[in-house]
Amino acid sequence: VGPRLLPFQCDLSGLWRNELRSLMEIHEVNDAGEFSGDYLTAVTATSNCIRRSPLKGAQHDTKQRGQPTFGFTVNWEKFSNSTTVFVGQCFVDDKGKETLKTMWLLREEVGSPGDGWRATRVGTNVFTRKRNVERGKILQQHSPPCDAPTPTPTAQ
Ligand code: BTN
């Protein structure tokens, strides 16, 4: 029995979580396969307060390929000088469950080309779909404390 391919399966739009408990919300994938979204990482190589960060990517046409490949870039500049690129493929199991198998490269800014040897980390992440109750609003609710508005000081 092969995967049960439903019409909108492996369309990346929606809310996803990986094994680190990082969340990403992908907005609508357009006709050219391009998409944007937000990423809220659960971990950081910096000592800075994590902030929700924008992502941009492209995926192959889900109408032509049941288990399409994709890639996206996350720009962490709100709290880090690094950039991550992810590449991956969406798989559908025999129960219809979607899984994104990805590999990533995380490039950190270094002072000179001679320090390039220590500038790149590599790894894998597996994402599964989370039920998306309110499209586009989920990551705002999960935002870390440093994304919250600064409370107005009250007179003592
Ligand atoms: C940084 O620490 O400089 C920025 C955040 C990097 C988070 C990485 S990206 C690859 C891995 N997967 C995640 O979900 N988070 C980490």
Q: Report the top-level CATH class of 14-129.
A: mainly beta
* Domain map (residue ranges) of the chain: 14-129
Under the banding of pLDDT at 50, 70 and 90, the label for residue 137 is low
pLDDT single digits (tens) 53-62: 999 999 998 8
Local structure of 44: helix, strand or coil: coil
Q: Are 125 and 19 in contact (CB under 8 A)?
A: yes
Backbone conformation region of residue 127, classed left if phi is above 0, alpha if psi is from -120 to 50, else beta: beta
pLDDT single digits (tens) 86-124: 999 999 999 999 999 999 999 999 999 999 999 999 999
Under the banding of pLDDT at 50, 70 and 90, the label for residue 150 is low
Q: Are 15 and 132 in contact (CB under 8 A)?
A: yes
Under the banding of pLDDT at 50, 70 and 90, the label for residue 153 is confident
Give the tokens for residue 106.
Answer: 């995380």
Per-residue pLDDT for 6 more than 70?
no
Per-residue pLDDT for 27 more than 70?
yes
Measured in Å, residue 105 CA sits from the centre of ligand 1 at 9
Measured in Å, residue 43 CA sits from the centre of ligand 1 at 6
The Cα angle at residue 143 between residues 14 and 58, in degrees rounded to 5: 35
Residues 6+ apart with CB under 8 A from 103: 86, 87, 88, 122, 123, 124
pTM: 0.86
pLDDT at 65: 79
Measured in Å, residue 28 CA sits from the centre of ligand 1 at 23
Q: Which atom of ligand 1 is nearest to the CA of 48?
A: 2
